[in-house]
Structure 1
């Protein structure tokens, strides 16, 4: 993607963080943004680096993760196009508390902390847009804590497969196909499961004729039965 032909104000206008802003406001924010491409496996930032921007995914995917003292990696989140990350960190004046890595060829819009602070000073209502973004991230983290505390591994995996499936809309469908956004090992870490357990559960669901597996393509054969499988 050639940055010279990227319409930054138009892109920002389509983001939940910046929708509803005037053309002048979008133009000011756009001046503080940079578009950057990352190759698969390239680090975007590492734990302890200074946080001078938050990031919006235009294309590709980003893995947010931490590494334990013994070298074990824990995936916190997988960020897809249309999503943003590190919004809250720009207000803390502290280094990044985790690391980010491109899982594929990835394009990001990096929104500088300087530009965000400047816009808030000019228009306090802009802070509401930022608070909304931070709130969405907090809501997602609360859902994760709830899942880890109250659901077993089988339920967490099923919940992940059905996360974007509208149950009512799926009633009349014979099958629904879900594409895993990353490797099974990465998603297993995201769900706090071992890769071996993740694969074992997938094959159990396949043996029960609830899904079929074709690499990263998971075909759900019966949404309602899958949703109820493994529940008490």
Structure 2
């Protein structure tokens, strides 16, 4: 069970740099964040590993931001089996569009993969402003960041749709690797373990292992646990003409 909410002001110095690395808060100083989080009625909750943060049976009227740990977002299919959507890491947000739609119930499950601290916000002052009160300038700036963040998440969902529509597993692997940062030494660090990656690609784990072995034998890439070494850079070039 998660802990009771902590006072944000007391914990803000610890997490200020994390918040500023998130697109939602990238334009705010720590002093501005102190005021803004008060306007957004922010609270921090702790979730032990394996704890459910959101679920279809729970109210999900508040968006959140992961401060520490990891969480995974999944859907349950018609047979109640989990379908992995994405991994959420520190400074990444969730539930933004859901809240802006005034959708009170989450269609997905968000589960803590590690012990996690989560910052929850309230958009009531954004969605239902008091016409008798002047809007704080900080909220205008936050609204601009929020619009960019939701647009970015829509783009990621479109990438996900493109991935799951692929018939060949090799193409799914290519599209997924294209979405990750490529380091100067041509390596890519995978944020997912092999089982999570198979779920994300909607593939059988043994089939994924075979395809990675084929790619290695063809000198396209080498894989070692969560690290991919790209041997043939043309593999990451888009296939769209």
- What is the TM-score of this pair, normalised by structure 1? 0.79
What does residue 202 of structure 2 align with?
Answer: 192
Q: Aligned to 1:49, which of 34, 43, 58? A: 58
Distance in 1, Cα, partners of 2:80 & 2:189: 29
Do 2:221 and 2:232's aligned partners in 1 also have CA atoms closer than 8 Å?
Answer: no
Match for 1:156 among 172, 177, 189?
172
| Counterpart-to-counterpart distance in 2, 1:90 and 1:157 | 32
Measured in 2, the distance between the counterparts of 1:76 and 1:195 equals 16
| Partner residue in 1 for 2:3 | none
The offset of 1:204, in angstroms, is 1.5
What does residue range 134-153 of structure 1 map to in structure 2 within 5 Å?
A: 134-149=150-165, 152-153=168-169
What does the per-residue CA deviation read over 1:96-116, in whole Å, with 9 as the maximum and x for residues that have no partner?
A: 111101122322222233465
Gaps of 5+ in 2: 1-5
Deviations 1:33-73 (A, max 9, x none): 22233222221111132123111122222211111121221
CA distance in 2, matches of 1:144, 1:21: 31
Q: Is this contact kept in 1: 2:12–2:34, CA < 8 A?
A: no
Q: 37, 42, 51: which one pairs with 1:33?
A: 42
With over 3 angstroms needed to count, the CA separation of the structure-2 counterparts of 1:141 and 1:24, relative to structure 1, is same
For structure 1, list consecutive stretches of 5 or more residues without a partner in the other structure: none
Find the counterpart in structure 2 of residue 71 from structure 1: 80
In 2: Cα distance, 1:215 partner to 1:150 partner: 24
Match of 1:182 among 192, 198, 212: 192
Alignment RMSD: 3.2
Distance 1:28 1:73 in 2: 39
Q: TM-score, normalised by structure 2?
A: 0.77
